[in-house]
Each structure stands twice: as structure tokens, then as C-alpha cells.
């Protein structure tokens, strides 16, 4: 079900991972950001848009993680944009003969059979350094940064003061470091991403993360500070004081503790001489 988050901005949240699909109304249709994640959810989303007489005229994938590059035939054949680096990563992935098998192996087993992969990852690369979504609608700024995944980008709907953060600034997920890019300093890359988002904090009235609850005024800076504190603790070899991990984590999200444990182990290993 679509819920209004701001003027001309609607959100559909998935059941299992609380993915937030964002719909921005334009003059001739809508921009659809990170649709997903099951076939039934995407078909429901398409039906909701049809009821509103709002065709999809453009899509955007904030980054190349599997749950952000899905699509459904009922959503139509609009161009699905991403940054050049995001599209290149997906092109390389799809060029592997066993990409579908390998992708399916990484899906949550609870819903793996319900996730359609036929239109997976078919992203059109925007030219490098593109700063606006090319469409007939409100100005939507693209903020590309090095955090979390190759070619990750947030979107800022200026007129509505809405920051669409992708897999950043979640109240459920800790900062998840880039495992794919061969970066020498994933913590520093993530801090750079937070800094770029912080430049929009004063103008952001509504924060929509890729997963979790929508934030109101003041929440953008608060979540940036929380993520920065987690990263500083990880970098310094301290155990973070963070409600998203530990024994009091929300039921059903205990696996986030495993993500943290793996990241902490990797940072310690990389910091060990020799």
C-alpha cells in the first residue's frame, strides 16, 4: 500500500526487509526508486499506481544490491537509471553465465521463490557526474558517493525537502561497508558518504532510508551522528554503543549482529600488520 510521505512523494514498504520503494509524482507519470521486493509486492505497487492513473515514466536504482535492482512487467518499460558505476557493476554481474544461480543463492530463503529475476539489474547508466534525474517532474538531485556499494547514490527532491538515502541512515541497519569495490579504506569511504548527505541535512524535512522507518525534521542529522559514532568505534577497535546491535536488538533483526561481528573481524584483520 502506498502512503504519502510528503507532497508528491509516496512510499511502499516491503514486509520482510522493510525496503522502502519511493514514488515521486511528475507531470506525465512517476519516478520509481528501488522497487521491490517480491513479485506480489511489485504487482500490488503497479496496481496502486494504475488506480492513481500514474504510469511509471522513469526508474532509479540507488545502488546495485539485489533488493534495489528488481522490476516487474506490470511496472512497464520505462528507462531504469543508475549511476555509471552502478550500471557497470551490474553489467559485469549479468555477463557471468551463472549470475542467476549465484544471485538466487543470496536471497532470503523465506521469500526466494517469490522474487522474480527475469528483469533483474537492467539499469541504464547515466553519464558520469550527472547531477539530476532526466525526467519531466520536480528536480531530483543525484548525490553519488563511495559508501556501502559501487556507484551508490542518494536522491534529493528539493521542492519537497525529501532525502531518499538508499542503504544509508537506517534505524534498523548499521552502516554496511563496501565488500565489492576493493577499497583500501571502507570506513573512510562511508564517512565521506555521510559528509555529503550531511550537507543536505538542514534542507531535509523527510528522510526515507532504503530500510526502516521514515524520519522527520532533525532525524537526518541524528542518524548521521549515530552512523558516524558506529564507524568511529569500529575504526578504533571499540564495541559500539548502538541500539541496532546487541542483546536488545528488535526481534527478527538479530542477524544485524552477525553483520557487525563480521565487519569488526575484517577491520581488525586488515589492521593487523603482515
Q: 67-88, pLDDT tens digit by residue?
A: 999 999 999 999 999 999 999 9
Q: Across residues 234-248, what is the average pLDDT?
A: 94
Domains defined along the chain, listed by start:
3-271 (3.60.15.10)
Q: How confident is the model at residue 215 (pLDDT cuts 50, 70, 90)?
A: very high
Q: Give pLDDT, residue 182.
A: 60
Counting Cα atoms < 13 Å in the Cβ hemisphere of 81 gives 23
DSSP string across 97-141: TTHHHHHHHTS-TTTGGG---TTTT-PEEPPTT--B--SSSS-EE
> Which cell is 64 given?
546495485
Counting Cα atoms < 13 Å in the Cβ hemisphere of 150 gives 18
Q: How confident is the model at residue 178 (pLDDT cuts 50, 70, 90)?
A: confident
Q: Across residues 154-170, what is the average pLDDT?
A: 98
Q: Give pLDDT, residue 183.
A: 66
Question: The pTM is what?
Answer: 0.96
Q: Summarize pLDDT for 112-129 with one digit per residue, the tens.
A: 999 999 999 999 999 999
Rounded Cα distance, 180 and 150, in Å: 7
> Which cell is 86 given?
552502478
User: CA quadruple 98, 168, 265, 109: dihedral positive or negative?
Assistant: negative
**Is the confidence at residue 63, as pLDDT, over 80?**
yes
SS3 245: coil
> Which cell is 117 given?
529475476
Q: Give pLDDT, residue 44.
A: 95
Q: Give pLDDT, residue 43.
A: 96
Amino acid at each position: 500500500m502506498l502512503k504519502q510521505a510528503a507532497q508528491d512523494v509516496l512510499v511502499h514498504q516491503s514486509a520482510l526487509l522493510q525496503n522502502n520503494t519511493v514514488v515521486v509524482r511528475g507531470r506525465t507519470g512517476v519516478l520509481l526508486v528501488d522497487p521491490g521486493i517480491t513479485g506480489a509486492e511489485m504487482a500490488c505497487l503497479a496496481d496502486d499506481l494504475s488506480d492513481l492513473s500514474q504510469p511509471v515514466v522513469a526508474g532509479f536504482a540507488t545502488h546495485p544490491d539485489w533488493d534495489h535492482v528488481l522490476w516487474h512487467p506490470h511496472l512497464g518499460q520505462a528507462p531504469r537509471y543508475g549511476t555509471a558505476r552502478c550500471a557497470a557493476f551490474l553489467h559485469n554481474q549479468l555477463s557471468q553465465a551463472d549470475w542467476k544461480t549465484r544471485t538466487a543463492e543470496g536471497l532470503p530463503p523465506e521469500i526466494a521463490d517469490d522474487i522474480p529475476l527475469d528483469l533483474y539489474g537492467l539499469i541504464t547508466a547515466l553519464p558520469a557526474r550527472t547531477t539530476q534525474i532526466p525526467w519531466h517532474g520536480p528536480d531530483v538531485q543525484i548525490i553519488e558517493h563511495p559508501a556501502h556499494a559501487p556507484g551508490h547514490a542518494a536522491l534529493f527532491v528539493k521542492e519537497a525537502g525529501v532525502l531518499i538515502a538508499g542503504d544509508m541512515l537506517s534505524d534498523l541497519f548499521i552502516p554496511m561497508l563496501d565488500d565489492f569495490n576493493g577499497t583500501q579504506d571502507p570506513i573512510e569511504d562511508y564517512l565521506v558518504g555521510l559528509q555529503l548527505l550531511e550537507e543536505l541535512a538542514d534542507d531535509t524535512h523527510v528522510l526515507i532510508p532504503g530500510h526502516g522507518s521514515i524520519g522527520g525534521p532533525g532525524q537526518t542529522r541524528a542518524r548521521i551522528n549515530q552512523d558516524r559514532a558506529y564507524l568511529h568505534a569500529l575504526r578504533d577497535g571499540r564495541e559500539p554503543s548502538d541500539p541496532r546491535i546487541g542483546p536488545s536488538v528488535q526481534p527478527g533483526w538479530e542477524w544485524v549482529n552477525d553483520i557487525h561481528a563480521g565487519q569488526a573481524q575484517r577491520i581488525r584483520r586488515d589492521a593487523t600488520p603482515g
